[in-house]
Amino acid sequence: MTLARIVQRQAESRPQSVAVRFGPLAVTYDEFARTIDGVATRLASEGVAPGVSVSMHVKSLYWNWVFLLAGMRAGAITITASRPIATVIATLGAVDFVITTDNVRESAAGRAKQIVASADWLDAARQTTPSLDLVDPAVADASMGRYFFSSGTTGAAKAILLDGRRLETRLHHLGQIYAIDARTRAFVAIGAATIAGFNIPMATWMAGGAVMLRDGSKPERDDAFTESNLAMTSPVALQTLLDAESKDTNRNVERVIAVAGGRLPASLRDRALERLCRRILLVYGSTEVGGIAEGDASLIDRHPGAVGFVRAGATLQVIDAAGNPVPAGVNGIVRVRSDSMATGYVNDPDITEKFFRDGWFYPGDQGVVFDDGLVAITGRVSEILNLGGVKVSPDVIETLVASLPKVRDVCALAVPNRQGVERLVIVVVCDDDVDMKALRAGITKRLARPRQFLLARVPNIPRNAMGKIPRPRLAAQIAAALEKRQSDPG
């Protein structure tokens, strides 16, 4: 199956099957394909052609997907942007086209041509008869590609480019892992700018299933999730889904939830299994390499950082500082590779050399592989807290604190004082009626060794699209706040 005509192929065999549910709309494959071809024809008339780069800045999830698939139909290299237009252009070096809707206030720069998809533009596209001269699918597949941004927790923008072959390989792997077929109703709580947010819908359309898109008009309830039988989330997004669903909601015994992007606390897993689904899968991977490991969420009872077993087509090694593989059960540095990994970062040879070496990608994680092949991620190499000479992974502390009642989110940081001595700061998001003294006592009781810490309560903890915390930025903000408090004469 060609990716350039992934929806059109389904429209030929199952035209009246639902391809997309978006709010009250149920869009059939036939209607979806005709809309995509109409938009592709309009884009082609604007100059979009095989191999050009097109950055999408479209707020509507439905229309974002229409433009993305239309760009692929035209053979373009697409970007779904969650970053400002200027950042996208600066990172990639240049962009040929920028598509915005009229509620986006940014403008294109450099050589980029801006296409403003106003309401009139979209209405005209719906009524456009698809051109018989649209790009041949084989040509489109050979020229198309996809840029993905990957900043980890540093906040620095980096981008990779995946060609059609690598994209299709990843989609086939996903289809096998999640048993995606024509009965699948997939919901993704992570945006299409992320690798998971792109791959799950694409794999679903490849199999002839339906993608459930949230319309954003009902913040108290998410019907797109309610109707799904497969959902991709991060731990934070899973907590949000639990908050949105009524406690009286009947558990969907068909639904499988896949969780990526961080440790899944056992307490959160148990609440989700009780109220939302029949099974939860752990997923480990990266934008650069794709899926590496997966397994049932029951594995976190063996190790809180468990992420499953390495899938076919991927390799994971744990090594020491000298690059030598360590024995089973020994903690070390994780390196990975796969049959669909990127070759490096776009326009950034220095960063590429740092993370891509000798055919391996170094994601910056620490981990351990047990005798039976179970993989556990024990922390981030760059995020290890050095507390008075004792090195601790923040994940360990966060897992302990997250298990306490009324804690909704948590982040552990090492923040230096005026003398440069790092101290432990635990940042929490809690229910309104939490007793902070009792919470402090509960944390102290659970810490492996007694140590002083500052406890800070905040309305929310910043996270990126995959739910990861930008720790350096948050630590700097807390350090500045503490300095201001100490300097304030009042």
pLDDT digits (tens, 9 = 90+) for 349-367: 999 999 999 999 999 899 9
Judging by DSSP bridges, how do beta strands 279-286 and 407-416 pair with one another? unpaired
Residues 375 and 446 in one domain: no
Separation of CA 75 from chain center: 25
355 within some domain? yes
What's at 269, amino acid-wise?
R
Sign of torsion over alpha carbons 73, 79, 82, 88? negative
Sign of CA dihedral 116, 119, 121, 125: positive
Contact 281, 294 (CB under 8 A): yes
Question: Does any domain span residue 173?
Answer: no
174 in a structural domain: no
- Examine the domain organization and report whether 236 and 142 are in the same domain: no
What mean pLDDT do residues 152-163 have?
76
What does the pLDDT read at residue 152? 53
| Percentage of the chain exceeding pLDDT 90 | 55
In the predicted structure, residue 219 carries a pLDDT above the cut 60: no
CA angle 147–283–310, rounded 5-degree value: 100
State the pLDDT at residue 388: 63
- The confidence score (pLDDT) of residue 82 equals 75
Q: Which residue has the higher pLDDT, 123 or 296?
A: 296
Same domain for 277 and 192? yes
Statement to judge: residues 313 and 451 lie in one domain? no
Q: Which of 55-64, 188-197, 315-324 has the highest mean pLDDT?
A: 315-324
Q: How far apart are CA 161 and CA 180, in angstroms?
A: 25
pLDDT of residue 487: 59
The answer to whether residue 115 scores a pLDDT higher than 70 is yes
Do 244 and 127 lie in one domain? The reply is no
Is the pLDDT at 397 greater than 60? The verdict is yes
Please check whether residues 283 and 312 belong to one and the same domain.
yes
pLDDT for residue 490: 46
The phi and psi torsions of 328 (rounded to 5 degrees) equal -55, 140
Residue 248 confidence class, pLDDT cut points 50, 70, 90: low
From 360, 381, 402, give the residue that closes a domain: 381
Q: What is the pTM of this model?
A: 0.83
What percentage of the chain exceeds 70 in pLDDT?
91
Tens of pLDDT, residues 415-467: 877 666 778 899 999 998 999 999 999 999 888 665 788 898 999 888 876 67
Region 365-387 average pLDDT: 87
- On whether both 141 and 277 belong to a single domain, the answer is no
Give the phi and the psi of residue 337 in degrees, each rounded to 5.
Answer: -155, 160
What is the distance between the alpha carbons of residues 287 and 355, in angstroms, rounded to a whole number? 13
Q: Domain with 104 in it: what CATH number? A: 3.40.50.980
Structural domain count of the chain: 3
Answer whether residue 153 shows pLDDT above 50. no
Picking from 381, 409, 426, the residue at the C-terminal end of a domain is 381
C-alpha separations of 322 from 163, 173, 325, 391 in Å: 33, 33, 9, 20
Shared-domain flag, residues 339 and 256: yes
Domain around 133: 3-10+19-149
User: Quick check: is 111 in a domain?
Assistant: yes
- Euclidean distance between CA atoms 296 and 292, whole angstroms: 14
Distance CA 211, CA 121 (A): 25
Is 32 among the domain residues?
yes
| Statement to judge: residues 236 and 373 lie in one domain | yes
CA dist list (Å): 96 to 77, 107, 290, 473: 10, 13, 27, 32
Per-residue DSSP letter, 251: P
Do 376 and 238 belong together in one domain?
Answer: yes
Q: What is the pLDDT of residue 151?
A: 61
pLDDT of 323 higher than 80: yes
Q: At what angle do helices 29-46 and 6-13 cross, to 10 degrees?
A: 140
Across 193-197, 200-204, 230-234, 329-333, least confident range: 193-197
Dihedral (Cα; 417, 419, 421, 427), 10-degree rounding = 0
CA contacts within 13 A on the Cβ side of 39: 27
Domain containing residue 426: CATH number: 3.30.300.30
**pLDDT of the residue at 86:** 87
Region 64-91 average pLDDT:
91
**Quick one: pLDDT at residue 34?**
93
Q: Are residues 224 and 292 in the same domain?
A: yes
DSSP string, 224-266: HHHT-SEEEE-HHHHHHHHHHS-TTPPP-TT-EEEE-SS---H
Q: If you average pLDDT over every residue of the chain, what do you get? A: 88
Residue, of 128 and 100, whose pLDDT is higher: 100
- CA-nearest of 44, 34, 41, 38 to 7 is 34
Check whether 221 has a pLDDT greater than 70. Answer: no
Kindly state whether residues 328 and 467 are assigned to the same domain.
no
